[in-house]
Amino acid sequence: MNNKKDKHSSSVPSNENGFSYQRMIFTYLACCVVGMIIIVYVFNGLIAAHDKQLTNEICTLISEKMETSLKYISNTVDEISTIISYCGNDSFEEEYRQLKNCVAESDFLSIGIVDNDGKLYATEAECFEFEKWGLTEIALGSNDVTISEPYRSSMTGQLVFTMFSPLISDGERTGTIFVTYPLDEIQNMANTKSLKNETEIWIMDGYSDNIIRCSGSGYLVGSWSNFKLEKQKIKNLPLYEAWEYSLRYGDYTGSVNYTTTDGVDYSQVFKRIDFMPGWNVVVRIPSLALSNTMQIFRRAILAFATVIITASFFLLIFTHKRETAEKKIFEKLSTYDPLTKILNRRAFEKASAKYFETEKEPECSFIFFDVDYFKQVNDNYGHEVGDFILVSFASALDSVFGDSGLVSRFGGDEFVVLIRNGSKEAVTAMVEHFADKIKELRIDCDNDFRLHFSAGMAACPFDTDNLEDLMKCADNALYKVKENGRNGWQWFSK
């Protein structure tokens, strides 16, 4: 156990270079401040003017980035559909099982199949999403790669969109594959570092008043908004309504100059997203961000960018190792119990479930351990001794069972072990060996102290064939041990 502690502690980043790191950050911020002062000085000397062409170029660039991203995603979905159709398996169940294994290693959130009768091969949560957002109708009506409108997933809480592609076998349609992606895949395409605070970028639905904000100060990126609220802020409304009419009735692009009720002048452009029917990229920039002397502004931006890139280059070299170390720490915190250094409950349940999913005929034993009268230990000797008991108990568990399976602190004074394979006789012998190690445990403040434990055991597939029932059987056996006075162990018996 001590070796594990040393291993974990070795990944903690050292503070020896803390001063140089802070100095580099200060230098980086100083360069940013100097650059911003230069930009502000240049802007103060410019005459306020609108530049539709520049706004249109930005909008075009962003829409092309989105189109490229969507096209790549569309081609990916189409390739998956082609591969499935080519394999020609008779069972969608088998295809779906194979597809599910791809989710954890991919950029998409979920994947599944809809047959020609509307039956979904998907998780219960995904079936709920399909019913809630009417996605089955879209799947059945798609003759080519089709994209849904963005919607907020109840599974992840984030904005997502689903792509559909028909499955064709021997010239006939057999079903539809669906793949759900986070909207971040295309929304992040709209973010721009230059003019970051001045430029507002939306994704707007031409058939409704829905707006998704992708960039701009004063707004939460990825938040929904309402177009009618924006119209209430416009002074010269007829010009704006003409622009809106152009957007809603099929024009590919359009621009307008207008003034808001708080006196800010804007240049605004929309451009249609071909791969996302009905949706448009909208870019608006205040006039203070643009001018007729754009060459001066560009030279200032280039000078500022040179300083930023130079500083960032040295900063990234230094911070790369730091970020790597911190990532390892975060991964360990999400996997191991901070006190005992063995698996926490969440990591254990995930690993156990994966074992049962990957093994067609799992053979294993599950053991529930409970430290007898642990509350009295805390009350009589204090929490410091209680923590020592838990750490020592976990260390003994890990030394006896660690090489044969999974060991976890399930909560409080409860511990669990999942042993892969192994006969009942072998597992019983391991528990007896563990009991001998526990008998040797002593505490400094009481030489007469003896630690006891209770344990309930169940075997798969003899007692049951699934993880949930296996845990219930072991818990039932543990309950019988406690009824009989604790300080013992037994196998589950019907």
Interval 370-417: pLDDT, tens: 999 888 888 888 889 889 999 999 999 999 998 888 999 988 889 999
The phi, psi pair for 6, rounded to 5°, reads -60, -40
Q: Which of 92, 242, 211, 199 is nearest to 149 (CA)?
A: 211
Report residue 361: phi and psi, to 5°. -130, 80
Q: Show Cβ contacts of residue 349 under 8 Å, excluding neighbours closer than 6 positions.
A: none
Summarize pLDDT for 256-266 with one digit per residue, the tens.
888 888 888 88
CA distance 486 to 122: 45
Whether the model clears a pTM of 0.75, i.e. scores above it, the answer is no
Choose among 252, 104, 86: nearest CA to 177. Answer: 86
Whether 10 has a pLDDT exceeding 50, the answer reads: no
The stretch 287-312 carries a mean pLDDT of 64
User: What pLDDT does residue 472 have?
Assistant: 93
Cis status of the peptide bond prior to 286, with omega within 30 of 0: no
CB-CB contact of 451 with 371 (8 Å): yes
pLDDT tens by residue, 199-240? 788 888 888 888 887 777 666 666 778 888 888 888 888 888
What Å distances lie between residue 91 and 87, 94, 116, 364, CA to CA?
11, 5, 13, 30
pLDDT at residue 98, as a whole number: 77
Of 62, 72, 87, the residue nearest 188 (C-alpha): 62
Q: Identify the three-state secondary structure at position 478.
A: helix
- What pLDDT sits at residue 48? 37
pLDDT of residue 33: 66
Closest to 282 (Cα-Cα) out of 311, 320, 313, 254: 254
Mapped to the 3 state alphabet, what secondary structure does 220-268 carry?
CCCCEEEHHHHHCCECCHHHHHHHHHHHHCCCCEEEEEEEECCCCEEEE
